[in-house]
Amino acid sequence: MTDLTIGQESTGAAVHSASDLYRAVWRWHFYAGLLVLPFMITLAITGALYLFRDEIDALVHADLKQVEIRAGAATATPSTMVAAALAAHPGTAVKFTDPASPSASAEITVSTETEGKLAVYVDPYSGKVLGSLPDRGTLMWTIRYLHSLKYFGSFTRALIEIAGGWSILLVGTGIYLWWPRQQTGGVLSVRGTPRRRVFWRDTHAVTGIFVGFFIVFLAITGMPWSGVWGAKVNEWANGNNFGYPAGVRVAVPMSDEHLDHVVKTSWSLEQAQVPQSPAHDHGEAPISLDQAVATFNRLGLSRGYAVNIPSAPTGVYTGSVYPDDLSQQRVVHLDQYSGRPLIDIGFADYGPLGKWLEWGINVHMGQEFGLVNQLVLLAACIAIVALAMSAGVMWWKRRPAGSLGVPPMPADKRVFRGLVAILIAGGIAFPLVGVSLVIMLALDWSYSRFSKNQQAA
Residues in the chain: 457
**Is the confidence at residue 239, as pLDDT, over 90?**
no
Report yes or no: 266 and 58 within 8 Å, Cβ to Cβ. Answer: no
Chain centre distance of CA 412? 41
Could you tell me which residue, 390 or 450, shows the higher pLDDT?
390
pLDDT in tens, 127-184: 999 999 999 999 999 999 999 888 777 777 778 888 888 898 889 888 888 888 766 6
- The structural domains of the chain, with segments of one domain joined by +, span 20-50+150-225+372-456, 69-135, 247-350
Burial of 117 (0-12, 13-18, 19+ CB in 10 A): middle
For the structural domain made of 69-135, what CATH number should be given? Answer: 3.10.450.40
DSSP 3-state assignment of 122? Answer: strand
Cα separation, 266 vs 362, whole angstroms: 10
pLDDT-derived band at 50 (thresholds 50, 70, 90) equals very high
Q: What is the 3-state secondary structure (H, E, C) of 60-113?
A: HCHHHHECCCCCCCCCCCHHHHHHHHHHHCCCEEEEEECCCCCCECEEEEEEEC
Residue 145 has φ and ψ, to the nearest 5°, of: -70, -35
Report yes or no: 395 and 362 within 8 Å, Cβ to Cβ. Answer: no
pLDDT at 414: 74
Report yes or no: 290 and 82 within 8 Å, Cβ to Cβ. Answer: no
Could you tell me which residue, 394 or 20, shows the higher pLDDT?
394
pTM reported for the whole predicted model: 0.86
Task: Give the number of C-alpha atoms closer than 13 A to the C-alpha of residue 282, restricted to the C-beta side.
Answer: 0
pLDDT-derived band at 448 (thresholds 50, 70, 90) equals confident
Mean pLDDT, range 351-358, rounded to an integer: 90
pLDDT-derived band at 4 (thresholds 50, 70, 90) equals very low
Tell me which DSSP letter residue 403 carries: S
Q: Please report, for residues 21, 26, 210, 449, the alpha-carbon distance to residue 446 in angstroms, rounded to integers and kept in the order given.
A: 20, 18, 35, 5
In what helix (H) or strand (E) does residue 245 lie, and over which residues does it extend?
none
**Is the confidence at residue 453, as pLDDT, over 70?**
no
pLDDT in tens, 66-120: 999 998 889 999 999 999 999 999 999 999 999 999 999 999 999 999 999 999 9
**Is the confidence at residue 410, as pLDDT, over 60?**
yes
**Is the confidence at residue 439, as pLDDT, over 90?**
no
Cα separation, 36 vs 190, whole angstroms: 24
Nearest to 380 by CA among 189, 140, 216: 216
pLDDT at 185: 67
Which range is most confident: 31-45, 336-350, 443-457?
A: 336-350
